[in-house]
Amino acid sequence: MATVTRGPSAAVVSHYAVQPVIDIFATNNERDLGAVSADIEKILRDTAKDAPPGSTVVLRGQTSTMTTAYTQLYEGLALAVVLIYLLIVVNFSRGLILSSLSAPCQRHWPASSGCCSLPARHCRSPL
């Protein structure tokens, strides 16, 4: 029928997204996560050619979370700079547009006529 024998096998079998994986755990001691991550990524790049065909080497954990957080932070800062720049441009160009609109009004109508119904601070008196 069947024969049962003892043999060596992995003590822990891990899976990630249904694929079997080998987990190597590491921690940083007296160094920041970014420096440790950079060193590990360099080692992975140097040894990637030694991996068997069909297998991949992936760095997971807090490193990927940190990288994603910094990427989103830089994108948010860039967007904030662009929005502030556009706000400044709109704010200062509005004053230029209103002052250029009030100039033709002064030529055709006297200052007492309301200067094309623009606010008084945008109308220039001929006096």
Cβ count within 10 A of residue 125:
10
Tell if the pTM clears 0.85, that is, is over it: no
Q: Does residue 125 contact residue 115 with C-beta atoms inside 8 Å?
A: no
| Most distant CA atoms of the chain, gap in Å | 116
> pLDDT grade, residue 103 (50/70/90)?
low
- Using one digit for the tens of pLDDT, what is the confidence trace for 72-83? 999 999 999 999
Q: Which residue is listed with tokens 């190597």?
A: 24
Q: Which of 113, 13, 16, 59 is nearest to 104 (CA)?
A: 113
